[in-house]
Structure 1
Amino acid sequence: MQKITIITPTYNRAKTLPKVFESLLKQSFKDFKWIILDDGSTDNTSKVVENFQLMNPFFEIVYIKDKNRHKFLTVLEGIKMVKTPYFMVVDSDDTYPENALETLISEVEKIENPDDYIAVMGLSADENGSLVGDPYPNGGFDGSIFEMRYLHRVRGDKFGIFITQSYHREISGKDYSHYEGKGYIPQSVIFNGYDAKGVKTRFMNKVVRFYLKDEDDAASVSNTRWSGKNLFGLAEGHLSFLNSYGNQLFSYPKPLLRNLVGYQTYALKSGRGIFKIIADVKNPWIKVLGILTFPFSLIYQKIQ
């Protein structure tokens, strides 16, 4: 059995998928399979993948086409299919250093108590090799995503490998069906939960992805932030943050206020009622603070 399953969700990325394929062909670690989850593409993605398969590469390629469900649910279904000890979610338009998989598998297999961990995260670089964001402190560390972002103030997109058994444990029994048909949903609605519970991530200062930021991608959330199809998910991301970390946030007032106003603003823009917006916040102290910040959120959402 292979050690790693690589999951690639894709939607109308026939032009960029060959870059991913070529990058995987060059990997020094070869014990993996590639699952391509086509989220209802209308271009010639299926033909492109068929050509990959005809080349008979050293790794197995599984192609699954479904209706357009958006990335969150598509990836979630892919993760549920994973049978290998580890998996990675590889975007359909990025590339990877030739030793990326080898570096990640080597590090994750060093973890002596894998039930306490869920991932190993490395760094990303741009196409010119410049680091995207910040390196981790202390040459890398074991801890939480919250600690990494808000205590150590590490910024920038990160990338890594997940421990399948731990991830399956964290999503088992949870119902995500209410996200069907809601458009963009951030992955943070899952990782905020397990991170706040104390499930650890190992952070290492090695580049394992070359990240391409596509300014011309009309479907990018950063380019369509205020469109109706993204507002629900953006509100859910902020709400998940508030409900997962709770009282811990009072030691970090800026992230607390930023996420509280962000939640209220996106929720209002998506048409949620004021009473529901307040009621969906679990922590009573954050709920009270939310009542106080509501006038500011009302003003802010009207000027956007």
Structure 2
Amino acid sequence: MITILTATYNRYNTLPRLLKSLLEQSSKEFEWVLIDDGSSDGTQDFVEKLKEENLGFNLTSIRQNNAGKHAAINSGIAAAKKNWIFIVDSDDALVPDAVETIIASITKATDSTVGLCYRKAYFSGELLGNDLKTAEQSLVSTPTEAGKLFAGDLAYIFRTDVMSKFPFPIFKGEKFVPELYIWNKIGDAGDIVFFTRKIIYLCDYLEDGYSRNFSRHLRANPKGFFIYYWSQFLREKTVFYKFKNLIRSVQCVLYMFLGRPR
């Protein structure tokens, strides 16, 4: 029913933690598609050893030349055999009932539902973002509006057939496109149900991760960021957010002409 898709690059030290959380799932109704985006740290040896083990779930591993997480996700979607895709980063982990929780929600989903979304927490247990004081257990929204409401990273699960229609664009020489650019396109195709409290995903922000190195990634990937910020400029309804995304779009154009850092 579920494909857990992991794109990894030089995360040999954190992959065992993710694997442990998958082995501890209360439901094994999932496959794991692991895309190695050209790692050079022993990841491939780790994967080869996994192939020899009885994990209790199917493992599909693909190795490709380093092209960025978005390109690795494209490869993973093409390899997915299940009806829903759950992207889980290689430096993160799942709570033991994550898959069971998702399956229970899938069985209740309507034909118009294209995605489900749950909360993330730090490994310490602290919730990411706003702790909403609401009686509602779930709501239907868009990724853009949910980002403002929850003010923290969220764990998305999307229908495979819908996700396949919206691959990440690839720009020569660049290795990143913000995920929200695609999540919004998927949200345009149907309903995404957001669960306001349920935590299924544990994470940290590593020193070499995207979140802690935003400025450097912006300079290195101006085209990828430009299509995101320009789409947000067109999508936003208020002057404040339109202006904010317009400034970022102009910044990206300047980086295109000035050149990317070596």
TM-score of the superposition, structure 1-length normalised?
0.77
Contact 1:123 1:135 in 2 (8 A): no
Aligned match of 2:78: 80
Q: 2: CA distance between counterparts of 1:52 and 1:221?
A: 29
Bigger relative CO (Cα 8 Å, ≥ 6 apart) = 2
Whether 1:123 and 2:93 are equivalent positions in the alignment is: no
Q: CA deviation at 1:34?
A: 0.8
Contact 1:192 1:240 in 2 (8 A): no
- % identical equivalent positions: 27
Query: Per-residue CA shift, 1:210-242, capped at 9, x if unaligned?
Result: 11111x21x535325135323332222201222
Deviates more, 1:223-232 or 1:10-19: 223-232
Aligned match of 2:152: 156
The residue identity in structure 1 corresponding to 2:244 is R
Looking at CA atoms only, which structure, 1 or 2, has the larger radius of gyration? 1
Aligned match of 2:233: 242
Q: 2: CA distance between counterparts of 1:34 and 1:118?
A: 21
Q: 2: CA distance between counterparts of 1:272 and 1:80?
A: 35
Q: CA deviation at 1:42?
A: 1.1
Change (3 A) 1:72 1:269: same
Within 5 Å, give how 1:27-66 maps onto structure 2: 27-66=25-64
Q: Give the secondary structure class of the aligned counterpart of 2:119.
A: strand
Whether 1:222 and 2:205 are equivalent positions in the alignment is: no
Q: List runs of 5+ in structure 1 lacking aligned partners.
A: 274-304
Which of 185, 189, 194 in structure 1 is aligned with 2:186? 194
The residue identity in structure 2 corresponding to 1:222 is R
Q: 1: CA distance between counterparts of 2:185 and 2:110?
A: 23
Q: 1: CA distance between counterparts of 2:54 and 2:186?
A: 38
Structure with the larger strand share: 2
Change (3 A) 1:158 1:270: same
TM-score of the superposition, structure 2-length normalised?
0.89
- Please identify runs of 4+ aligned residues in structure 1 that moved more than 3 A: none
The number of residue pairs the alignment matches comes to 255
- Name the Cα RMSD after superposition: 2.1
Q: CA deviation at 1:38?
A: 0.6
Aligned match of 1:176: 169
The residue identity in structure 2 corresponding to 1:58 is G
Aligned match of 1:296: none
Contact 2:30 2:99 in 1 (8 A): no
Deviates more, 1:43-52 or 1:132-141: 132-141
Within 5 Å, give how 1:196-215 maps onto structure 2: 197=188, 199-204=190-195, 205-214=197-206
Query: Per-residue CA shift, 1:154-202, capped at 9, x if unaligned?
Result: 210000321112223x32xx7834x24322111222222233x352100
Query: Per-residue CA shift, 1:39-77, capped at 9, x if unaligned?
Result: 111111011112222232111112111111101111012
The residue identity in structure 1 corresponding to 2:210 is S
Q: 1: CA distance between counterparts of 2:258 and 2:179?
A: 21
Structure with the larger helix share: 1
Change (3 A) 1:121 1:89: same
Aligned match of 1:260: 246
